[in-house]
Structure 1
């Protein structure tokens, strides 16, 4: 019953087998390995982007932060929601890697910005001449940190606003596969066809040991990203171990299969919890993350039984057993139906 995060689950056996194979013999370093050549080709094919520049790093923080630094200047501001991954979970890394670009928080509804809220936030900037921050990239998190998913139409509308101001658009895709299978669209439709300039294509939360791809659809950004990745200490010498993971992840659509599993696990969890009187959801779950509330007594039953998840209100130690506390639950690809059903039964009491 481990719903703390999808990055707490195991790497898929096919990924581990690929790492073992990659460990045999010798390979050129720094991304010059033959496995990386195949990764580039497959990602370009999957995204229908034959000219895309494709790179690998080991963490989502590096993928997002170095990509945004490549698209921004230190005197600019990056537009994102208050719930965005780069705002809540990156410890100011985007500001650090960009040399000082700030974040402007765009009002959101269920963790999603709207074209109107984005346009208003952009319009406010560049109103004070040299004294204020200049407009920079728009960053969109999909799946959002609240488990909601931007539709293709919503992505198109946000990118249209960005283009009206001549601003690039970045997609934080730590859970890219989960969003994609939820939308039942193509990777191209969710990225460059919608107006996205760069995407971080996540693997770590979806069955890899630790690898993320950064994909620039305009290769003019390639050399600067390479320099920033090296300068930022994220160019792996033994790069083949990143390549091997990503290649296994892409082979036979493993990445899609694992995302379908985690989304299905969360859907089963959601159906079970919705049948319990007194359980309420903060947001309608679209992928593999849920926020739901139930009694403190129910939370104690779960914790006593060894369940792992986050209590969002962080006041489990209170006295009122009936007080409703919110849980954040994230399903990974390896979650079993038995563990899901046991979790629901303990909430029910």
Structure 2
């Protein structure tokens, strides 16, 4: 019953099989392996973007930080939600790889910016000329850090604000597969057709061992990305092991099937928690993360019974009155089973 993160799950069997197959024989290094040709073609087809350039890295932090670096200057502002992953969980990597760009935090409920809050943040930036950081770019997280999903229309509305100020847009898609499944909209509709310039397309959280793709819809930016990837130490020599994962992930819609299973498990867990007396959802469950609040006694039973998840925020404690509510984050993965969900719910309720 591990709901700590989708990062805690194993790699999907299809991905492991592809890695084993890629380990046979020899292959050219640094992305010149033949599997990468298949990956590039598959992602162009997936995004309906035949001119897009595709690059692979091993971590989401690298995908995001390198993407931001090609879209803004060191003196530029990167507009993101206050709870965006680039703000909360990347140890200053965006600032490091951009050479000093400043993250400017935008408000909005459930970790979603609105056109109004984004426009206000951009308008208030750079008003004193050389004395301020300048308006640089916008980055959107989909699915968000609170488990919510931007529709294509919502993404387009944000992009229209950004483009009105002449700013490029990046999409952090570490859980993009979950967003696609939840929204029932195409990858193209959620990205370039809405105005997104670069997307970090996640694999690691959804069944891969460790691979993320950066899809750049403007080929003119590709060479700079290649240089930054190499200079930043993220160009793999034995690149075929990245390629093999992504190729298997994309084949026959595996990436969507894995995300569909994770989202379904989260929906089952969310419905079960909502039905418990004294429990409530603190954010809508739209992808594969459940944010909820229920009495401390239920948390104690869950942890004592072997469940893994996080109290959210972290500064809460299991010490105290049993009836007092504590909030938490639970994340389902592709491998979460119905038995996992039902077992956790039984512990929370206090039933065998």
The answer to whether the superposition gives a TM-score over 0.5 is yes
SS of the residue 2:7 aligns to? coil
C-alpha deviations, 1:264-314, integer Å up to 9, x for none? Answer: 000010111111111011111100001101111111101111100001143
- Structure 1 segments of 4+ aligned residues over 3 angstroms from their partners: none
Inter-partner Cα distance in structure 2 for 1:201 and 1:243: 14
Aligned to 1:284: 284
Inter-partner Cα distance in structure 2 for 1:151 and 1:319: 40
Aligned to 1:326: 327
SS of the residue 1:286 aligns to? coil
TM-score between the two structures when normalised by the length of structure 1? 0.99
Shift of residue 204, structure 1, vs aligned partner: 0.2
Aligned to 2:340: 339
Aligned to 2:255: 255
Inter-partner Cα distance in structure 2 for 1:76 and 1:330: 34
- 2:80–2:138 CA contact under 8 A, matched in 1: yes
Inter-partner Cα distance in structure 2 for 1:2 and 1:240: 31
Aligned to 1:294: 294
SS of the residue 1:130 aligns to? helix
Aligned residue runs from structure 1 range 172-321, under 5 A = 172-313=172-313, 314-321=315-322
SS of the residue 1:4 aligns to? coil
Aligned residue runs from structure 1 range 24-43, under 5 A = 24-43=24-43
Alignment of 1:142 onto 2:111: no
Structure 2: gaps spanning 5 or more residues:
none
Aligned to 1:96: 96
Inter-partner Cα distance in structure 1 for 2:108 and 2:93: 22
Aligned to 2:65: 65
SS of the residue 2:348 aligns to? helix
SS of the residue 2:293 aligns to? strand
- 2:265–2:337 CA contact under 8 A, matched in 1: yes
Aligned to 1:6: 6
C-alpha deviations, 1:6-65, integer Å up to 9, x for none? Answer: 011010000000000000000000000000011001100111100001000000000000
TM-score between the two structures when normalised by the length of structure 2? 0.98
Structure 1: gaps spanning 5 or more residues:
none
